[in-house]
Amino acid sequence: MPISSLFERPLRTTWNATGNLTETLWWPSVREKMNDPKGTLVLFVIPGNPGVIEYYKEFCDTIFREREGNIEIVGVSHLGHSHGDHNQGDGRLYSLQDQINHKIAIFDELKRKFTSEHSHSVAPRFVLCGHSIGAFIATQLLRSRPDHGIIQVYALFPTLQHIHKTPNGRLLSPLFHPTNTTLASSLIASLRFILAPHIFTLLVKLCTSQSVAYAKITTQKLLHGQVVKNTLHMAMTEMQQVQELDEEVIKENLEKFVFYFGERDDWAPIEHYEILCKKFPNGKVFICQDGCPHAFVLTHSEIMAAKVSKWIEAHEVTT
């Protein structure tokens, strides 16, 4: 059945996870799940910071096409990181731990959803795909739900240890101080008030070198005062919480992990790649040979999606 024969994907929805309205992109599978002897395969995409899932649309679109629609893909924005009706505007700031708890709640919802809908079939299987701090969140999700059908964890450009000691961590940490966070969010709010929307988008495009499409996502979803404050607040708590490498969860689940680092990445430097190679010589720890940057979703979505699709295919063939 052609992928386009049912309806357009992704579905843009708002899911309620333990009272938190969550911006969600969902690519429903075209496969008849009741006839899948292995059980429904669900790819759960956890973004980095800023956690706007719309940035990952092309990445997920490509994986869906590569897998010929025979996969469920679900991605969610971080709480407070994206402007829209789902953002309740209560002024709350969410820490890294809040975001971890949120992704565990979303995972539990996914497990219930794909189990109850197909109660006569094999239990669903999950692949976690975490980018940057999303990779750390994925490891903590696996730690919390070790026996819940998680078969693979893809850690892309992962920030798994001592973020505050990385080149970008040392450079940008002062920005994450509450006083500077307030100043930054006030500046963004003022610019939105002063500038016409198309001028604001053009300014963002010029300052960030983003394409027009991504500059629109940035201005429409991310660059709002309270949203900016939330992304910076989460970054501050990342500096505080992400310290020693969680060797225990990696060691216990080494066969599930794929770690993918960039050659030049000031958030996940080459030293972190070398540490993982040394500590886990039998692990799947790779270094990018294709020039993909840390923020790969802005320029190299199709390249990374092809790699993820091949990892999924390789696992499906061998199990």
CA distance 60 to 26: 9
Collect contacts of 85-88 with beta carbons under 8 A, ≥24 apart: 85/14, 85/21, 86/14, 86/21, 86/22, 86/23, 87/21, 87/23, 87/226, 87/227, 88/21
Confidence bin at 2 (pLDDT 50/70/90): very low
The residue with greater pLDDT, 160 or 114, is: 160
Map tokens 């969902």 to a residue.
Answer: 26
- Which of 11, 33, 34 lies closest to 24, judged by CA? 11
**The domain that contains 71 carries what CATH number?**
3.40.50.1820
Give the global pTM. Answer: 0.95
Residue 121 in this model has a pLDDT that exceeds 70: no
The string of pLDDT tens digits covering residues 32-68 is 654 566 789 999 999 999 999 999 999 999 999 999 9
DSSP state of 78: P
Confidence bin at 319 (pLDDT 50/70/90): confident
The string of pLDDT tens digits covering residues 235-290 is 999 999 999 999 999 999 999 999 999 999 999 999 999 999 999 999 999 999 99
CA distance 163 to 141: 19
- Identify whether 167 is part of a domain: no
**C-alpha torsion angle, residues 289, 292, 297, 298 (rounded to 10):** -150
Kindly give the residue spans of alpha helices, DSSP state H, lying in the chain. Answer: 57-66, 96-116, 133-144, 167-172, 178-194, 197-208, 212-217, 225-241, 247-252, 270-279, 301-318
Tokens of 86: 């789902």
Percent of the chain with pLDDT over 70: 94
Residue 7 in this model has a pLDDT that exceeds 50: yes
Identify the pLDDT of residue 118.
Answer: 58
- Identify whether 232 is part of a domain: no
Residue 142 in this model has a pLDDT that exceeds 60: yes
- Specify which residues 13 forms β-bridges with: 24
Q: Write the CA distances from 158 to 197, 210, 213, integer angstroms.
A: 34, 22, 26
Domain with 108, as residue range(s), is 3-160+244-313
Q: What is the rounded average pLDDT for all residues in the chain?
A: 93
How many folded domains does the chain comprise?
A: 1
The string of pLDDT tens digits covering residues 183-196 is 999 999 999 999 99
- Specify which residues 287 forms β-bridges with: 261
Confidence bin at 124 (pLDDT 50/70/90): very high
Residues 6+ apart with CB under 8 A from 169: 162, 163, 239, 267
Identify the pLDDT of residue 1.
Answer: 34
Identify the pLDDT of residue 6.
Answer: 47
Residue 213 in this model has a pLDDT that exceeds 50: yes
CB 311 within 8 A of CB 154: yes
- Identify whether 215 is part of a domain: no
φ, ψ for residue 24, nearest 5 deg: -135, 140
